[in-house]
């Protein structure tokens, strides 16, 4: 599983970073990007889904790869 | 007195006493019957109430401009037509700034103005103010805890944000009462009283102008006026008028709103012993509790200005029309939130838009969250058991910022 933040949509609400600092980082303006190319460790998949569900801008998406789907 | 409202979908009044006290059933009715309500009152406006509509309108900045974010008629210069007694440089400044950027700006000004403002309000920067906020909350509580009673709005919630914003602006905290008076005069009482709004705006602009003139001579490390004065945009210093408009915004936006959120949170906890007990037993729930309280009691309803002819969901809108961005109603939309009227402090799916959505997302959101978190934690630490003395006597400010203004709380024997 991978997560991706669409930087065109992110407005810096900080929700993903607050919920899953292991998966996201924010720059000095508060805009988020995914850590580690977006790779989601198995034990953090719920966090990734939470981040998607709580982003008010709908900026985060999950890409399931075949091996871990 | 205004005529009583008979039909909320075609004749709503955001200043109606019933709307201020308990807008939730009114929003439910509008949301299900006619999701974009309209009124001729207060200059006329449309009011979307469904989450999806708020999401779409907030993100369409081409059609829905932020040049005017208050719903009742308002001069962007804040001075109307007769700015007698206002220092000339303050007049020029407020007019050049076009109000209070970036909240009152559209791109391209909005883009650089926001970029300038975001870094000092990042979660990391805001955390610098957490220890003093905690100390302040503890001091306030120490001042009244032995009495077994206090006004949770006037004695507590209202006291916190003006001092924190004063600290960020580098201005004396003992003037907090004065700032609160000005901001209420501008944003609360002045919303239906143009003269009061104008004189309050003049007071804020004039005071901040003095601060800025002083800072130009004596820059300080770490306060916002100094930061803005020494920042550059495209290699040029930020125009002084813009610095003034932004400082005006910080004072206006940073006080009433957060104090309303803190007040509503305390109001909720006073009536829900199970939520109090859970927050004390499971302190790690504080972050999701803050988000949930923001969702359920969102204080802020900004407006937009229709900049071009358009039609939204069958409503024809004309240039100059106002749209009241009812983010609080969107946050109670059952299409998005399960059991929206229930406060669930560990709610998992909560994409609330209490801070708005799109490019005007509240720049102070991290500050507001920090203040709410600390205010709730300190209260529960010192006063874990408390209740409303007389629930029916709580008074609410409403209109574009909603929160309790008189809220007698009691505890102990």
Which of B118, B349, B359 lies at the smallest CB-CB distance from A30?
B118
Label residue B75 by pLDDT band (50, 70, 90). very low
Q: Do A28 and B287 touch (CB under 8 A)?
A: no
Q: Residue B165 and residue B121: Cα distance in Å, rounded? A: 11
Q: Is B143 on the interface with A (CB under 8 A)?
A: no
Q: What confidence score (pLDDT) does residue B78 get? A: 41
What torsion, rounded to 10 degrees, do the Cα atoms B372, B377, B380, B381 define?
-150
Q: What is the mean pLDDT of residues B371-381?
A: 98
Q: What confidence score (pLDDT) does residue B72 get? A: 60
Q: Residue A67 and residue B228: Cα distance in Å, rounded? A: 51
CATH code assigned at B156: 1.10.630.10
Q: Look at residue B311 and tell me whether its pLDDT is greater than 50.
A: yes
Label residue B312 by pLDDT band (50, 70, 90). very high
Q: What is the mean pLDDT of residues B351-371?
A: 97
Closest chain B C-alpha to A27 CA, distance in angstroms:
9
Determine which of B193-197, B240-244, B261-265, B399-403 has the lowest per-residue pLDDT on average.
Answer: B193-197
What ipTM was reported for this prediction? 0.94
Task: Answer yes or no: are the C-beta atoms of B246 and B101 closer than 8 Å.
Answer: yes
Q: What is the mean pLDDT of residues B273-287?
A: 98
Portion of chain B with pLDDT greater than 90, in percent: 74
Query: Which positions in chain B touch A54 (Cβ < 8 Å)?
Result: 291, 349-351
Q: What confidence score (pLDDT) does residue B82 get? A: 43
Q: What is the mean pLDDT of residues B380-392?
A: 98
Q: Look at residue B76 and tell me whether its pLDDT is greater than 70.
A: no
Task: Answer yes or no: are the C-beta atoms of B410 and B294 closer than 8 Å.
Answer: no
Which of A13, A18, A50 lies at the smallest CB-CB distance from B348?
A50
pTM, two decimal places? 0.93
Residue B264 CB neighbours (<10 A): 24
Task: Answer yes or no: are the C-beta atoms of B176 and B163 closer than 8 Å.
Answer: yes
Task: Answer yes or no: are the C-beta atoms of B12 and B30 closer than 8 Å.
Answer: yes
B94 falls within a domain: yes
Label residue B201 by pLDDT band (50, 70, 90). confident
pLDDT digit string (tens) for B25-69? Answer: 999 999 999 999 999 988 889 999 999 999 999 999 999 999 877
Q: Do B352 and A55 touch (CB under 8 A)?
A: no
Closest chain B C-alpha to A19 CA, distance in angstroms:
9
Q: What confidence score (pLDDT) does residue B91 get? A: 60
Q: Is B50 on the interface with A (CB under 8 A)?
A: no
Q: Look at residue A67 and tell me whether its pLDDT is greater than 80.
A: no
Q: What confidence score (pLDDT) does residue B392 get? A: 96
Q: Is A64 on the interface with B (CB under 8 A)?
A: no
The CA-atom distances, in angstroms, between B104 and each of A10, A68, B200 are 21, 47, 18
Q: What mean pLDDT is reported for chain B?
A: 91
B1 falls within a domain: no
Residue appearing with tokens 């103005």: B113
B361 falls within a domain: yes
Label residue B80 by pLDDT band (50, 70, 90). very low
B162 falls within a domain: yes
Q: Residue B323 and residue B302: Cα distance in Å, rounded? A: 9
- Provide CATH code, domain A2-68: 3.30.70.20
Give the three-class secondary structure for B37: strand
Q: Is B284 on the interface with A (CB under 8 A)?
A: no
B5 falls within a domain: no
B218 falls within a domain: yes
Q: What confidence score (pLDDT) does residue B109 get? A: 87
Task: Answer yes or no: are the C-beta atoms of B51 and B335 closer than 8 Å.
Answer: yes
Determine which of A5-9, B87-91, B117-121, B324-328 has the lowest per-residue pLDDT on average.
Answer: B87-91
Q: What confidence score (pLDDT) does residue B71 get? A: 65
Query: Which positions in chain B touch A15 (Cβ < 8 Å)?
Result: 291, 351
Chain-centroid distance of CA B296 in Å reads 15
Q: What confidence score (pLDDT) does residue B79 get? A: 40
Which of A14, A50, A57 lies at the smallest CB-CB distance from B123?
A14
Q: What is the mean pLDDT of residues B303-328?
A: 95
pLDDT digit string (tens) for A16-57? Answer: 999 999 999 999 999 999 999 999 999 999 999 999 999 999
Picking from B75, B145, B97, B157, the residue whose alpha carbon sits closest to that of residue B383 is B145
Q: Where are the domains of chain A?
A: 2-68
Q: What confidence score (pLDDT) does residue B346 get? A: 98
Q: Is A7 on the interface with B (CB under 8 A)?
A: no
Taking the alpha carbons of B108, B78, B200, B295 in that order, is the dihedral positive or negative? negative
Which of B287, B348, B357 lies at the smallest CB-CB distance from A56?
B357
Q: What confidence score (pLDDT) does residue B92 get? A: 57
Q: Do B352 and A56 touch (CB under 8 A)?
A: yes
User: Which residue has better confidence, B2 or B145?
Assistant: B145
Range of the domain at B358: 17-410
Count of the separate structural domains present in chain B? 1
């Amino acid at each position: 599983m991978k997560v991706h933040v669409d930087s065109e949509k992110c407005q810096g609400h900080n929700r993903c970073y607050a919920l899953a600092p292991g998966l996201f980082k924010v720059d000095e303006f508060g805009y988020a990007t995914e850590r580690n190319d977006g790779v989601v460790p198995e034990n953090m998949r719920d966090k990734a889904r939470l981040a998607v569900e709580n982003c008010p801008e709908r900026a985060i998406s999950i890409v399931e790869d075949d091996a871990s789907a | 007195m205004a005529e009583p409202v008979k039909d909320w979908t075609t004749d709503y009044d955001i200043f109606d006493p019933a709307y201020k006290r308990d807008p939730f059933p009114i929003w439910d009715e509008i949301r299900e019957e006619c999701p974009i309500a309209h009124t001729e009152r207060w200059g006329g406006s449309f009011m979307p109430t469904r989450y999806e509509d708020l999401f779409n309108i907030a993100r369409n900045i081409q059609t829905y401009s932020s040049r005017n974010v208050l719903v009742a008629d308002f001069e962007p210069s804040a001075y109307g037509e007769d700015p007698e007694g206002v220092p000339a440089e303050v007049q020029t400044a407020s007019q050049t700034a076009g109000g209070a950027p970036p909240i009152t700006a559209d791109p391209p000004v909005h883009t650089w103005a926001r970029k300038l403002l975001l870094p000092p309000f990042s979660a990391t920067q805001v955390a610098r103010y957490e220890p003093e906020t905690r100390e302040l909350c503890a001091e306030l509580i120490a001042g009244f805890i032995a009495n077994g009673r206090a006004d949770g709005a006037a004695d507590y919630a209202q006291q916190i944000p003006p001092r924190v914003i004063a600290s960020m602006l580098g201005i004396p905290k003992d003037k907090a009462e004065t700032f609160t008076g000005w901001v209420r005069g501008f944003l609360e009482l002045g919303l239906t009283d143009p003269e009061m709004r104008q004189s309050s705006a003049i007071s804020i602009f004039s005071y901040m102008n003095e601060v800025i003139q002083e800072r130009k001579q004596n820059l300080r490390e770490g306060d916002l006026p100094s930061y803005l004065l020494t920042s550059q945009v495209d290699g040029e210093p930020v125009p002084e008028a813009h610095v003034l408009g932004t400082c005006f915004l910080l004072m206006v936006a940073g006080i009433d709103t957060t104090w309303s959120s803190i007040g509503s949170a305390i109001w909720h906890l006073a009536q829900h012993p199970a939520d109090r007990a859970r927050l004390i037993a499971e302190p790690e729930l504080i972050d999701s509790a803050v988000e949930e309280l923001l969702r359920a009691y969102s204080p802020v309803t900004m407006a937009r200005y229709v900049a071009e002819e358009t039609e939204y969901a069958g409503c024809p809108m004309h240039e100059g029309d106002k749209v009241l961005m009812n983010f609080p109603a969107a946050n109670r939309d059952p299409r998005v939130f399960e059991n929206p009227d229930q406060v669930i402090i560990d709610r998992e799916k909560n994409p609330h838009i209490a801070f708005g959505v799109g490019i005007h997302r509240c720049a102070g959101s991290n500050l507001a969250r920090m203040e709410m978190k600390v205010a709730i934690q300190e209260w529960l630490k010192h006063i874990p058991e408390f209740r409303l003395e007389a629930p029916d006597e709580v008074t609410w400010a409403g209109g574009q910022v909603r929160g309790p203004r008189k809220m007698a709380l009691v505890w102990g024997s």
